Every structure is written in structure tokens, then in C-alpha cells.
Amino acid sequence: MIIYIFLIFLIAFVFYGIIPGVGAFLIRAQWFGFRKRLTSASLLPIANNSALNTKKGRYVGKFRLFGTLEAIQGNNLVWIASQDFSVAADLTKTSIYMLSSYPYELPQEGKDQSEFNFPDEQPSYIPWEKIFSLPSGIQVFISGPLFMEDGRLHFKNQPNDPLLVVIYDGNKELLLERSIWSARQKNEYLNQFTPISLVCGSLSLLLIAFLLSRLIDFSLPALHYASLSFSIPTLLALTLSLFPILYLLPPGVFLYFLYRHFWKRARYLRAERDLLKLPLRYINEKNTLEKSEYINSLPDGEKYLMIRKTKPPNQNDPLFRAHIPKRSCSLKKEVDKEAYFYFFGSPDISSALKKPSDPMGELISIPGNPYTLAKACQKKAIKVGLLSAFFIFSGLLLNLILLFFAFLRILIYLQPGY
């Protein structure tokens, strides 16, 4: 009996745990890689005439470009038009990210960005070879190695430096924030490996349950030890075969809704963490946040300024009268602990700060140390994530036990003379 039980749990662990778990790590790594690549791309110079005229040779350098799709030539070559010129991009073995539709513009001045909700749907991730057509005029962001060939500029993949291509709509100033917010799986367990793995696991356990049931002697007036040694593994296999729908059965389904609530909260906190850290990509060291001011340069040479102000704000300060959009943090207790406001933007004579000309440069205010708040969001996300895991596993275990004893009761009821 022990061998059968071990085999049943092994099959359940592999098909319900290991295979979907590997897929979960892969899908999380994929979206983490996309966010990291896009953030790194925001530090590249924008391809324009002034930047390209200083370059000589076949390899021009690494650039990024905002443009619109002009035409598709052949199977893999596309032409992207910017304000100044057109470039070609060889999309051989390139995957295209497509952001979900978002028709809104930038937040109004002073508006809290937590009220300006981005879509929760993660971007589509499609290999170029599986894209059959695209309408001309759609907005495209591309970054990567740029070459000069036959007097024309070409973006091309390199072995260790692939192109990053994002198709989007709406304002290009929101491209980075939208991607950072939405490029994460809603539930990593539900990935491309999960459906087939659950089906295979369920069918395998049903087959084992059927084979073991053939060894149970129902002609006995009561279950003796030999019959019991086959009936318990049979019921266990039958119960675990229902794992894919087990969480939907009462009473565990109520814990499932708690799991969904807290899992969504953990995902929200991770997105907040990444957005809070976004302005820090222009800050060289964490200790810089202790200074009252810090100035750096954007990729195009424009100055980027961080200003720290004490709380409560002085209403006569130009920074507060400028109504700079605020990026808040949902952890109110952590925000209340903070003694400073942080402002990020390009220097401006009239209002101290302005929106940078770089579409990916932000004019933003944060009610506290971005690094401290991001760290607090990370810790809270881990706690909430563990709590959500506790609820889903508790619900599954509760339903598993109740269903097992329900099947056992039915088996006893089927005995002669019951």
C-alpha cells in the first residue's frame, strides 16, 4: 500500500507541482527580462539626425527609436518612419511585444497616478514569424544595434544583443510606465505548460484508480486488510485526479476567493515597487537620495534633476505650485513615516522642474524616499503572496480531505450487508 501511495503522490507532485512550477519560473523570468530590457533601453540615445551624424563606420551603435510602421518588405524586413527619417529593421527571429489598448493621454497636472489606472492585461508576446500582417501607421518602439548598410540605416539582431520591439497605442510618454505596470503574469501557475500537465496528471491518476479498483474484492461482507490495502490508494488517486477542479468545490472555494484577492494585491505591490524605482535609474548611488539636490544627464544630454523637500510642503514653493504629477504608494503607514518629498524632472527657470524632452524621462513627485518605499512594497508583496499561498493550499487540502472521506463513505456503502 505504501508503494502505491508514494507513486500516487509522486505523479501528483510532478504534474501538479513541478511542471507548472517550472513554467511559472520561466514566465516570470520572461516578463522580468522584458521589463529590464525596456528600462535599459530607456538609457540609450534616441536615433535622430544629430546623434547619427557623429557616427562613422558600419556599426553605428545602440539606439532606440519611436516611430510608426511604414511598410513591410519581404518576409522579415520592416520600415519604420520617425519624424526625421526612416530606418529598416530586420525582424528575423525577433519576438514582438504588443501592449493592450490604452487610449488615454498623460495624467492631468497634480493628479495622483494611482487614480490613473493602467490596464492589468499583460502584453502579447508573438514571434515575428507568426505575425501575418500589420496595418501601416501603428506606433512602434524599437531598440538595439543599428548599422549603416548601402547608405541606409538598419536595426539588426546580434547573437548576444537582440532587438526589442514594442507595438503600442496612445501617448509614447506612457510607454515605459505602462509596460512596467502590466508586463507581469496575473498568475504564474497558469502558464503554457499548465493545461497539458494538469490533464496528463488527472488522466494518469484516473488510470491508476481504475487499475487498483480491479483489485478490490467487493464480494466480502466487509473490507478486510488485503482489500483495504488497495481501496485507500484507489480513493486517494481518484481524489487527486480531481485536483484541476478541486479548488472550485465548497467549502474550499471560499478560501480560493481570498487567495485571488491577496495574490492580486501582491501583484499590485510589485508593480508599485517597480514604478517607484523607475526614476532611480538616473541615480548612480542609493546615498544620493540623502542629498537635497542631485543632477545628472539624460541620454540626449539634457539635464535631469532630483530635488528633496521636507514635509509638510511649503505652499509657496514653486515645486508645489507647479502641480507636478504624484506617484503615490498604497502603503500609507510607510508614506507617513517619510520626512521628505522627492521631485524628478528637467531644470526649469519658472517652476524649478519641467517634463524632459525625452519621452521616457519623467516629471514626477514621490511622497517619500523611492528606494525605501520600493523596499517596503517588496517586503509587503512577499508577505501578502505567502498569505495567498496559505489560503489556496488550505482550501485544496480541506477539499482533498473531505472528498477522500466522501469517497470512502461511498465505498463502505457499496459493501454487501451495509
Name the residue among 140, 131, 139 with its Cα closest to residue 163.
140
At residue 109's C-alpha, the angle toward residues 107 and 111, to 5°, is 60
> Is residue 104 scored above 70 in pLDDT?
no
- Count the domains in the chain: 3
In this structure, the answer to whether residues 279 and 355 fall within a common structural domain is yes
- Name the residue with cell 548576444: 160
Together in a domain, 51 and 174: yes
Each residue's pLDDT tens digit, 284-341: 777 889 999 999 999 999 999 999 999 877 777 888 877 788 898 999 999 999 999 9
> Is residue 268 in some structural domain?
no
pLDDT for the residue numbered 410: 82
203 and 150: one domain? no
Give the C-alpha distances (Å, rounded to integers) separating 76 from 67, 168, 233: 18, 20, 56
In terms of Cα–Cα distance, which of 30, 34, 32 is closest to 42?
34
**Domain range for 236:** 2-35+187-263+381-413
Query: What is the mean pLDDT of the segment spanning 240-266?
Result: 94
Q: Is residue 80 one of the residues assigned to a domain?
A: yes
Residue 40 falls inside a structural domain: no
* Alpha carbons 361 and 270: distance in angstroms, whole number: 21
In this structure, the answer to whether residues 68 and 166 fall within a common structural domain is: yes
Region 386-391: mean pLDDT is 97
Give CA–CA dist 381/271, Å, rounded. 10
pLDDT of 77 > 90? The answer is yes
54 and 142 belong to one structural domain: yes
Write down which residue in 160, 178, 196 finishes a domain.
178
Q: Give domain status of residue 418, yes or no.
A: no
74 has a pLDDT exceeding 70 = yes
pTM (2 d.p.): 0.90
Domain-located, residue 341: yes
Q: What is the pLDDT of residues 163-191, one digit of tens each?
A: 999 999 988 999 999 999 999 998 999 99
In which band, very low, low, confident or very high, does the pLDDT at 162 lie, cut at 50, 70 and 90? very high
